[in-house]
Amino acid sequence: MRIQYGDRCMSHTQVYEWTEKFKNNVTSTDDSPRPGPAFTAVTKDNIAAVENMIRENRSITFKEVASLLDISVGSAHHIIHDELKFRKVCARWVPKQLTPEMKERHVGASQELLRRYEADGEAFLQCIVTGDESWVHFYEPERKRQSMEWCHTLSPKPKKVRAQRSAGKVMLTFFWDYNGPILEHHIPRGSTVTSATYSNLLREI
């Protein structure tokens, strides 16, 4: 068989194993079912109750569910994960909580931008100017090659402290359009950034 099928042929150990199984009247090559835990508490009523608990309190724990229904923690875990297909995830950080009115204004602005794009196409995109801001820490770090020294084989190895952020920093405000950057402005530390500050910057564009 190995000459005929090569590496696809079963090993001697597998041949001996299946020979013994077929001698014992085993006619299936599938794995035999393994006994698992019997979840006697997994009933339709308990599943519905757990689903209602989760919808009322999204942070409820397995122990709390098990205590309220007088079932084991394993049964609660099985109902939530295997029966209801729920999984617990962490909340995602967002910049701010938007009110319904803010969401409506955002939708309206997005729809207006889409209408402008459908009407003017690429010409509308070329008129858009956007910007962003970030704090920039400034220092002149020494490169690793610049810190090389001649040492004897018995000399202690020189040490170099990692560069620390200096106290000096400025806020970098950057504006760009369809063709690339159009304005780069540095605001010193301690300055107050208001709408008037941005209005003055936009007059420079």
Q: According to the model, what pLDDT value does residue 202 have? A: 72
Rounded Cα–Cα distance for residues 78 and 94 (Å): 32
Q: According to the model, what pLDDT value does residue 68 have? A: 93
Residue 155 lies in a domain: no
**Full residue range of the structural domain in which residue 203 is found:** 129-140+165-205
Tell me, yes or no, whether 6 and 78 share the same domain: yes
Which residue, of 16, 51, 83, is where some domain finishes? 83
Tell me, yes or no, whether 121 and 133 share the same domain: no
Main-chain phi, psi angles of 35, to 5 degrees: -65, 135
Residue 105 lies in a domain: yes
**pLDDT, block means (10 residues), the chain with 205 residues:** 73 77 66 59 90 90 92 90 87 80 93 92 86 75 66 68 62 85 79 77 69
Answer whether 136's CB lies under 8 Å from 172's CB: yes
Task: Strands of the chain (E only): list them.
Answer: 130-137, 169-177, 180-188
> Domain tally for the chain?
3
Tell me, yes or no, whether 136 and 202 share the same domain: yes
Distance of CA 187 to the CA centre of its chain: 33
Residue 111 lies in a domain: yes
Closest CA to 62 of 46, 73, 50, 47: 73
Residue 199 lies in a domain: yes
Tell me, yes or no, whether 119 and 70 share the same domain: no
Q: According to the model, what pLDDT value does residue 197 have? A: 78
Tell me, yes or no, whether 19 and 66 share the same domain: yes
Tell me, yes or no, whether 59 and 118 share the same domain: no
Tell me, yes or no, whether 102 and 78 share the same domain: no
Which residue, of 49, 64, 83, is where some domain finishes? 83
CA neighbours closer than 13 Å in the CB half-sphere of residue 59: 2
Which residue, of 17, 51, 83, is where some domain finishes? 83
Residue 197 lies in a domain: yes
Q: According to the model, what pLDDT value does residue 34 have? A: 55
Tell me, yes or no, whether 133 and 187 share the same domain: yes
Residue 153 lies in a domain: no
Residue 66 lies in a domain: yes
Q: According to the model, what pLDDT value does residue 111 have? A: 95
